[in-house]
Amino acid sequence: MTAGLFLRLSRRARLPIALILLPLTIGAPLLAEPAPDFYRGKTLTLVSGFTPNGENDAYLRQLGRHIDRFIPGNPAVVPRNMPGGGTLVAANHMYKAAAPDGTVVGMFLSQAAVEPFLGNKAALFDPLKFGWIGSLALEPQFCAIGPGPGVPQTFDELLEKEAVFGTSAPTSDIYRYTAVLKNVLGAKIKMVSGYPGMPGVTLALQRGEVSGACGFTATALRTRLAPALKSGEMKLLVQLGGAPTSEFGKVPDAFDYAKTDEARALLNYFFGALRLGRLIAAPPGVPEERLNILRTAFTTVLKDPAFLAEADKLNLVIDSASAADLQTQMERLSKYPQEFFEKVRQVHQ
């Protein structure tokens, strides 16, 4: 066999192998795309489990206006509202339907996040498997009452005289905190549920449809509700969260009314969720290097002067928790005995 013939045969012999390897060679860079380059030209969707223009939604949109600067590749950031079920709709979407590639993160309530531990069949997720990013604004909340003839004006009076409180969905913190006052502390409350989030409950209180409500944050009381608080159109009855503040005057703490160890344990469970703040998570399965990019961007933006200046202008208090903090808290909550969760379920009824 001549050298020329051998060369021609060798080339022909190698051709099928080259054709076989070609698709793998072309596909390899896509599968192993470097994390720093992944977000270039892409869109990061921020799913909000809250109604538009509400306080929780404002926090997520504030984050969205700045976080792109701290993600390599500077993706476009687009908010998307997905309210419903006390933010369970958004949590389910993040777990079951959102793309697990790092292009979608969502914010929902801490109370919704622990629903699977309570056996809620509508909660289609495992809280331990989310890719936690962090949490925004750990702040106390308050219950308030409006003026009117015969309406109790202190929490002590509410223990003796009934008032109608507006609430949202049964999985919402508004509903839960009201139920705790009624079923754990013995407040005489008639609950009217179904209002669309805190804006709807607030409007019902202002219109006189209900006499009271729970779930007013310190941020709301400093800003949009400050005139009503100053004029006496609403009065604070009790504060929740276990870390009392005197910022709004002398307001009793719910823990002061817990008379038994069981009552204190239940209050710690429900109001301890306030210390989780506004939870932000990615779906399960997001590659670790992309999760780390999102987590780093989150922690970095919270220290950014431009972000903090705008937050201050909007009266948004930034007090965060890390991804590790959230994972630790979820693991702790998952280990409560089932007998305790049965007591928690009874509080909701």
DSSP letter assigned to residue 253? B
DSSP letter assigned to residue 96? H
In 64-211 the beta strands, taken as DSSP E runs, fall at: 76-81, 104-108, 131-136, 141-145, 163-166, 189-192
43-138+277-348: CATH topology: D-Maltodextrin-Binding Protein; domain 2 (3.40.190)
What pLDDT does 239 receive?
94
What pLDDT does 157 receive?
97
Q: Which residues on neighbouring strands pair with residue 240, listed in sequence order?
A: 141
What pLDDT does 346 receive?
87
> What's the rounded Cα separation, in Å, for the pair 13 and 214?
77
Domain 141-273 has CATH 3.40.50.300: no
For residues 201 and 174, the answer to whether their CB atoms sit within 8 Å is yes
What pLDDT does 231 receive?
93
What pLDDT does 142 receive?
95
Measured at the CA of 10, the angle between CA 7 and CA 15, to 5 degrees, comes to 130
Mean pLDDT by 10 residues, the chain (349 residues): 38 37 38 70 96 85 96 97 92 98 94 87 96 84 90 96 92 87 96 88 92 90 91 94 84 94 90 78 97 97 95 84 90 88 84
In the chain, CATH 3.40.190.150 sits at 43-138+277-348
For residue 144, give the 3-state DSSP assignment. Answer: strand
Statement: the pTM of the whole predicted model exceeds 0.85: no
In the chain, CATH 3.40.190.10 sits at 141-273
